[in-house]
């Protein structure tokens, strides 16, 4: 476990702030660019790794700054190859990050908050208290850890990033966007923006802000019911961000970005799995050019919901397709280690393969 430090984290500095700090040490501006490259392109975990800096300068930096990097506390490997990581932050808090390998993709599922404040009834994370937001550098670290695992275990590069782990990304707006800047920027990991998806439970004000900021990444809405009464029951956030309000926010977002929206829809038995529900989903989808991911429900401890039958799921999908809406059934991965959608809750699994 890392010891907490009172030193300022050097990664919290902008390039301009770093340049000014080095000027006070009598160093030239190009040194700041070198350090910035070590931090964000090369993902340095210690100041001592910065080999093109003098020993004297490295010591000055160590005296003044720390790098509070994230560490893997525990790693579990599913039968299907999914890797779930319990990640320890510098202050001892824990989050989870998951690498999801398929034949065509290597996807990093990252967390944005320690816990969550939204209390969605079907989600294990929603049963945890929200302790704090992740900093931009901590989100960046999650991506680097999962990127390295993709290369180490599968000899493949990371292809996609989804903000579908613990927490509500749009309630940590500034840090999420700063992290994505470091992940996609030429000064950082230089990954493609269109390979990143930010998933929200539906914060209308912040969806509009994404439009105003004309973001280049993809937006997904965790919908799960296109009926206010049903959605209120399973997602309390809907009481303050109801479907008409969300639909208007999504239309605003699309007008600003011209980016298609993905609706995520867990199909629950006897709750939202009828053709009437499918029609409601289709009608809501008309707010904005969109597609639908139909998701298997993954049970959680004490959960009150069940997955719908295969027949109903396929009939639901066929109905949407008949209406001209693209619908994909997303099969869950990592169930045996509680790494699937909705299962992240910092719970250790005794049967996991430990590496």
d(CA 17, CA 86): 32
Instruction: Give the HSE-up count for residue 152: Cα atoms under 13 Å, Cβ half-sphere.
Output: 9
Q: How many CB atoms lie within 10 A of CB 306?
A: 12
Catalytic residue, candidates 109, 116, 123, 341: 341
Burial class of residue 242 (count of CB atoms within 10 Å of its CB; 0-12, 13-18, 19+): middle
Q: Is 123 known to be catalytic?
A: no
Within the chain, residue ranges assigned H as helices are 15-24, 29-40, 55-64, 136-154, 173-184, 204-212, 228-234, 243-257, 275-285, 310-322
d(CA 173, CA 55): 38
Instruction: Give the HSE-up count for residue 251: Cα atoms under 13 Å, Cβ half-sphere.
Output: 10
Are 116 and 200 in contact, with CB atoms under 8 Å apart? no
Q: Is 106 helix (H, G, I), strand (E, B) or coil?
A: strand
Residues near 22 by Cβ (< 8 Å), separated by ≥ 6? 28, 29, 31, 32, 35
d(CA 96, CA 66): 23
Q: Is 168 known to be catalytic?
A: no
Catalytic residue, candidates 96, 138, 142, 296: 96
The overall longest dimension of the chain from CA atoms, in Å, is: 71
CA 168 vs CA 121, 173, 206: distances in Å: 14, 9, 11
What's the angle, vertex CA 334, arms to CA 120 and CA 91, rounded to 5? 65
Residues with catalytic function? 96, 341
């Amino acid at each position: 476990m890392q010891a907490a430090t009172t030193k300022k984290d050097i990664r919290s500095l902008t390039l301009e702030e770093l340049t000014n700090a080095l000027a006070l040490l009598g160093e030239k501006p190009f040194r700041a660019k070198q350090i910035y490259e070590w931090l964000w392109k090369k993902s340095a975990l210690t100041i001592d790794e910065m080999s093109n800096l003098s020993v004297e300068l490295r010591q000055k930096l160590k005296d003044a700054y720390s790098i509070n990097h994230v560490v893997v506390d525990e790693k579990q490997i599913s039968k299907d190859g999914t890797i779930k990581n319990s990640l320890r932050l510098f202050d001892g808090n824990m989050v989870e990050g998951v690498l999801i390998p398929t034949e065509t993709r290597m996807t990093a599922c990252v967390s944005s908050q320690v816990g969550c404040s939204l209390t969605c009834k079907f989600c294990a994370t929603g049963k945890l208290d929200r302790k704090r937001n992740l900093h931009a550098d901590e989100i960046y670290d999650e991506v680097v850890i999962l990127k390295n695992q993709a290369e180490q275990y599968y000899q493949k590069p990371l292809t996609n990033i989804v903000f579908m782990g613990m927490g509500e990304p749009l309630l940590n707006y500034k840090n999420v966007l700063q992290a994505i800047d470091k992940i996609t920027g030429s000064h950082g990991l230089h990954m493609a923006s269109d390979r990143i998806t930010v998933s929200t439970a539906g914060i209308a004000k912040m969806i509009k802000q994404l439009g105003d900021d004309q973001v280049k990444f993809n937006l997904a809405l965790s919908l799960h019911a296109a009926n206010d009464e049903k959605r209120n029951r399973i997602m309390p956030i809907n009481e303050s961000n109801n479907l008409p309000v969300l639909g208007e926010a999504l239309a605003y977002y699309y007008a600003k970005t011209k980016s298609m929206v993905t609706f995520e829809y867990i199909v629950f038995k006897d709750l939202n799995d009828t053709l009437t529900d499918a029609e409601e989903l289709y009608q809501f989808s008309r707010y904005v050019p969109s597609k639908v991911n139909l998701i298997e429900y993954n049970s959680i401890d004490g959960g009150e919901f069940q997955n719908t039958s295969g027949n109903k799921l396929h009939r639901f999908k066929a109905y949407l397709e008949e209406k001209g809406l693209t619908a994909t059934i997303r099969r869950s991965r990592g169930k045996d280690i509680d790494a699937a959608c909705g299962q992240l809750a910092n719970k250790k699994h005794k049967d996991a393969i430990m590496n």
